[in-house]
Structure formats: C-alpha cells, structure tokens
Amino acid sequence: MTDWRVPLSDLDYGSEEADAAQRVIASRWLSMGPEVQAFEQEFAAMQEAEHALAVSSATAGLHLALLALGIGPGDEVVQPALNFVAAANMTIAVGATPVFADICSLDEPTIDPSEVERLISPRTKAVVVMHYGGSLCRMGELTELCATRGIAIVEDACHAVGVAYHDTRNRWPNGIMAGSIGDISAFSFFSNKNIAAGEGGMVVTNRGDLAERVRSLRSHGMTTLTWDRHKGHAGSYDVVSPGYNYRLDELHAALGRAQLKKLERNNQRRRDLLVSYREAVGSLDGWIMPFSDAIEYSSGHLMVVVAPNPDIRDRAVHALRQSGIQSSMHYPCVADFTGFANGSDRDLEVTRQFTRRAITLPLYPTLNPDRINCIVDVLRSV
C-alpha cells in the first residue's frame, strides 16, 4: 500500500474489522440503522455524554454544530489559525466570519485564552477550540471566559478521542472527556485518526436542544429515517426544516465500533511510543517536542517536533524523505491560505513560527519502537 519504509500512519486493522464488515453485509441493511445506533450508544458511554450523533465526517459535524448553535451572517467565530481548514470552511459555509487566534507557545500549540479574550467582540457567537495532536486546550480558562459572556464553545476534538482533561491544579473540568466539555463537539473517523473508518464523524453534546437540531439537520430535516419505515415504525415523514444528507452508514459504523474497542489499548501504545520519542528527541540540541511533559494526558494522535529554525526543518524533511520516512506538517496557518487571505490578518506570530519549524513524524499503534531511534538519528544528522 505504501512505498515509504516508515509511513506517517498505518491502520491497526484485522479480523475484528473484517468480521464487523461481514456482519453488516450479512444483515442486508447498509444505510443508517442499528449499527449506527449501537455506535452512537457506545460512543456516548465512552464520552460520558448525553448525546452522540453519527455523521458522515467531522466537517459535516462542525457544520451542523455551528448551524445548531444558530450561527450565521454577521456572527464571528474565534478559532485557532493552527488547525485543519474544516472549522474555518464551515464557519464560512454558515455565513459567519472566522477570527483567527494565535497559539500559546511552540511547546503548547493550542489556542491561547488571552488571545481569545482580546479577539472577542460583540459579534462573537462561538469559540472553536482544537486539541492539537491529542493534548487538550486550556479548557478551564476558556470555559470561564466564554461562560461569563454567553459565548458557545465548539470542540474540534478530531485529535483527542478517548482522553480526559487534566489540570494540575485539579480544577474543573478535570476528568471530563475531550469533546464533552464544550457545548458541542465533533470527532473524525478519517483513515489516519485514532478511530479509523475511512470516513465518518461523531457529534457529541450534553445539550438536548442542540442534539435535536443536529439529528434533524443531518437527514434533510425529515422526521423519520428509511430504517424506521423499513421496520414499520413509520409510514411517512414530514420535513420540519431544510437540512442535509450528513448520515453515516452501517459499514462505517461497524468499522468504527471495532476500532472503538481497541481505542484504549491503541492510545496507550501511542503514548508509549511518544515516551520513546521524548527520550530520543531529548538528546537533540534546540529541538522542541510540544506537550512532552504531559504525554500521559494525551490521546497520542500526533508526534510533532519543532526544529531549531526553518532551514534545519527543511533539511530534516528532505533527509527523512531520502531515508524513506514519511513526514508531514500539521498545519499550514489557515489565515495564510489564498481563500482566507482577506479574513482576519492579525500577526499570529507564534502560529507562523510554528508552521515554519514543525514536522510531524510517524506515529501509529503498530509502529515498531525500534524505528524511533533511526528516525530521530535522521534529525540529528542535519
């Protein structure tokens, strides 16, 4: 499947996923039905949340989250410039304006609460946070900031499945699962995620009003599903508002369920690998490994290092490629994309430094730990 000697990520797929797919095929029902319902229940239980609603992707989930919150033209949504473009794109899709905030530091590349406070205006309706690489944002400060102003928090929790908030001062929301802290959140089951199903997503919320709107909007605002009619539970349907087809199907839900069963073990494997990386990177001069002192509180989604300067970064990426080791960069600064160039253009100094110096290295549950020293030796060589 890959020409890389060490790919950036790899699936932990086996007989469990094959059996899950076979189960769906044998059931002769492919569209949203009992597998999706079971996946939602199991996911909600893991999240200790009231509602989990399966959707076709996290992008769809973010779209529905913003719509459910009633965000639209004239509203502003403060969000990190260091993020996958989905949240910014969906902000535009609902007619609102993304306002980009800087990250805390190169060592803590999550949205800076003091930046959020500076950027909040009378038009701010929501703040999107993103738990970079699986380490959580400063949710205590962010929650205080937003709650006192009546601003909603949307968690882009795509990197942080299966991990709880931890604050050394033992303050709220200690122990609460990422994605269950804000008003509403979105998870992704894209191939490289900790739960990989190819495509798919989950919206999580404890607010019944938001859950109902998401449930309705994900299926054209229709009052029943084809499954309900198939089972004879409903004969017809009404459309209570315009909506979308953002439904998840049974095959993806079954794969997601098989992966969910492996999540705790695989997140621990990822953390163990991060600890090995930390030991190896510690011997390099001037390189930073973000969140390296809090690996035990991460989902271990990404292994990121920050090079001493952009030139060394570029040379390291080249040397890794020459050695057959795939690397990446999470993420380009969203405010610098052509499509967003006319948006908010604050200085975003730390984000821009980070994007010029960061490298994402291979990390996946089945990565052979012996590879880590070889990978870090390539960085040492430049």
Point out which residues bind ligand PLP (CB under 6 A): 57-59, 83-84, 86, 130, 156, 158-159, 188, 190, 201
Shortest distance, position 211 Cβ to ligand PLP, whole Å:
19
Q: Which is nearer to ligand PLP, 54 or 376 (CB)?
A: 54
Q: Which is nearer to ligand PLP, 60 or 69 (CB)?
A: 60
Q: Which is nearer to ligand PLP, 83 or 180 (CB)?
A: 83
Q: Which tokens go with 321? A: 């490629």
Cα 271 from chain centroid (whole Å) = 17
The β-bridge relationship of strands 152-156 and 51-55 is unpaired
Q: Which is nearer to ligand PLP, 140 or 179 (CB)?
A: 179
Q: Which is nearer to ligand PLP, 179 or 243 (CB)?
A: 179
Shortest distance, position 374 Cβ to ligand PLP, whole Å:
27
Shortest distance, position 238 Cβ to ligand PLP, whole Å:
29
Shortest distance, position 154 Cβ to ligand PLP, whole Å:
11
Shortest distance, position 231 Cβ to ligand PLP, whole Å:
29
- Rounded Cα distance between 92 and 128, Å, is 13
- Rounded Cα distance between 94 and 293, Å, is 38
Q: Which is nearer to ligand PLP, 195 or 306 (CB)?
A: 195
Shortest distance, position 363 Cβ to ligand PLP, whole Å:
14
